[in-house]
Amino acid sequence: MSKKSFTQHPLSRRQMLRLTGMSAAGLVLAACVPAANTSTGDAPAESAPAADQSASVTVFNSGGEKVTAVYASAIERLHEEFPEIAVEDLYNSVPSWGEYINSIKLRVASGQPVDVIYVAIEGARELIFQDIITPIDDIIASDAEMQRIVDLTEPALHNALKGPDGATYFMTREWNNMIIHYNTEMFEQAGLEPPAHDWKWNDFVETAVRLTSGEGADKIFGFAIPYFNFGLAPWWHTNNTATLTDDWSDSNLDDPKMLDSVKFVHSLIHEHGVSPDVAGASPYELFQSGRAAMTGAGRWPVLGYIDSGFTTIDITPWPQMESGTTVFGSGGFSLSKDTSVPDAAIEVIKAFMSDETQLAFTNLNTSLPATRSVTDNNPKFNEIPPSAHLFFDSLADIKPIPSPANFAEVEGIFMRNMDLIMGNSVTPEDGLNQAHTELSAAMLKLKERMSG
């Protein structure tokens, strides 16, 4: 690449107003751009920096050692083209998205610089509501490379990270879904054909029963339940229901279909005996050790399969009740409302979203790229599992994990009551009734907070 200098694009009036505004939650944010011209109401044009003027971009990011290495390579490529852009890529490992968002808010409130922010869908609405990030539709429209990346991104993924106002706040980096992983060798040993792509809940139970054998500590289970909020969601979606209403504004736990779905999951342990108790059980350890013939996941366990030499696996769509709708979660990069170097920040985002970076992430075997094209004819993607194309095929019938601005609270309420249900401390009816009461109150509190 030839070395270039970057130029500042004038901010639109809408961006300028957001960049000079105050947080809706009352956080005092530093104003890092000139105020709008009060005589015209328009933002003044910014002059392009000299070719040797440097810009420092701070990225609030998330990821482990291998993810860090991928971004380090992207930064090296960026420096070949823009040697004057210095990048501080801050990695934050926190146990939950709620704590991750709180870390971002604390950094912003304390006046520390942040220009580019990565977050998963679980935290996107809170960043938007807190007025920490800014829409980038105008930037995309004026930047050919940004537009190319958006055009290549799967529409369902791009749209899921939009704000309630329909504005684009994120460039989607990656995603994961929930799909059934099964042990092909155990299926063959049980005389079973691979599951049909349109199999039903009753087919699933019959298959799981055939794959279950033994007793006590030696028992082999047909299915290890992925017991976490995201992992359970396909059971709700394939029954055309969810924990929240379609607009994520109210509890939907009083829907009879939710009760039917929870009862079905409960029955896998307590009626059919095809799944182990969820308390303390790791579905992926059970699956990889041959103690369970099936489980549910996205692409994230594949790296572990490869590292351990576990290759007798494939994937198939989630079994259906009323539909084949599964669930996905995604994540991406946003532009801080308070950045003083928006164009340099956009160049960093483009480097992190480039084809080379997407390919590198694809080869990590931990998530799915936002652009399907980098998986075409890619042996690292298509070898394990053999039906890897089904990951992207699932986008034809899929919904994002419900992710309101109070996601952490919603998830906590639901899973705490699910624990009581799955542990037989309460009936599914009583557990969901209690969860519905708590969740309804939490969503009302959110509405009051968002209305000011």
| Per-residue pLDDT tens digits for 402-413 | 999 999 999 999
Instruction: State how far the Cα of 266 lies from the Cα of 272, in Å rounded to an integer.
Output: 9
In a domain, 391, yes or no: no
CATH of the domain at 47: 3.40.190.10
Q: Does 32 share its domain with 96?
A: yes
Residues 178, 391 contacting (CB under 8 angstroms): no
In a domain, 103, yes or no: yes
Which pLDDT does position 208 carry in this prediction?
Answer: 98
Structural domain that includes position 366: 13-176+329-382
Q: Does 38 share its domain with 150?
A: yes
Q: Does 169 share its domain with 184?
A: no
Q: Does 319 share its domain with 337?
A: no
* Residues 369-376, mean pLDDT to the nearest whole number: 93
Reply yes or no on whether the pLDDT at 255 is more than 50.
yes
Q: Does 333 share its domain with 323?
A: no
* Residues 79-85, mean pLDDT to the nearest whole number: 95
Q: Does 284 share its domain with 357?
A: no
Q: Does 205 share its domain with 293?
A: yes
Selected residue with higher pLDDT from 162 and 4 = 162
Instruction: State how far the Cα of 186 lies from the Cα of 427, in Å rounded to an integer.
Output: 34
Task: State the residue for tokens 């792509």.
Answer: 197
Reply yes or no on whether the pLDDT at 6 is more than 60.
no
Helix (H) or strand (E) holding 133: strand 133-134
Residues 313, 305 contacting (CB under 8 angstroms): yes
Which pLDDT does position 315 carry in this prediction?
Answer: 98
Q: Does 48 share its domain with 101?
A: yes
Number of helical H runs and strand E runs in the chain: 19, 11
In a domain, 396, yes or no: no
Instruction: State how far the Cα of 260 lies from the Cα of 258, in Å rounded to an integer.
Output: 5
In a domain, 17, yes or no: yes
Reply yes or no on whether the pLDDT at 4 is more than 50.
no
| Residue 254's pLDDT band (cuts 50, 70, 90) | very high
Strand pairing partners for 316? Answer: 180
Q: How confident is the prediction for the chain on average, in pLDDT?
A: 88
Q: Does 336 share its domain with 437?
A: no
Q: What's the token pair of residue 105? A: 């808010």
Q: Does 200 share its domain with 76?
A: no
In a domain, 5, yes or no: no
Selected residue with higher pLDDT from 60 and 2 = 60
In a domain, 4, yes or no: no
Q: Does 247 share its domain with 140?
A: no
Task: State the residue for tokens 């989630």.
Answer: 318
Task: State the residue for tokens 């990346």.
Answer: 149
Q: Does 311 share its domain with 346?
A: no
Strand pairing partners for 330? Answer: 175
Selected residue with higher pLDDT from 44 and 8 = 8
Work out the burial of residue 377: count CB atoms within 10 Å of its CB; fewer than 13 is exposed, 13-18 middle, 19 or more buried: exposed
Instruction: State how far the Cα of 157 lies from the Cα of 174, in Å rounded to an integer.
Output: 9
The CA distances from residue 75 to 92, 312, 357, in Å, are 18, 37, 10
Which pLDDT does position 224 carry in this prediction?
Answer: 98
Reply yes or no on whether the pLDDT at 178 is more than 80.
yes
Q: pLDDT tens digits, residue range 126-161? A: 999 999 999 999 999 999 999 999 999 999 999 999
In a domain, 1, yes or no: no
Which pLDDT does position 53 carry in this prediction?
Answer: 56
Number of Cβ within a 10 Å radius of residue 153: 24
Reply yes or no on whether the pLDDT at 36 is more than 50.
no
Tell me how far the alpha carbon of residue 302 is from its chain's centroid. 17
Selected residue with higher pLDDT from 365 and 260 = 260
Q: pLDDT tens digits, residue range 316-341? A: 999 999 999 999 999 999 999 999 99
Q: What is the DSSP letter of 120?
A: E
In a domain, 431, yes or no: yes
Selection from 279, 324, 276 nearest residue 287 by Cα: 276
Reply yes or no on whether the pLDDT at 379 is more than 60.
yes
Q: What is the pTM of this model?
A: 0.87
Instruction: State how far the Cα of 86 lies from the Cα of 77, in Å rounded to an integer.
Output: 12
Domain count, the chain: 2
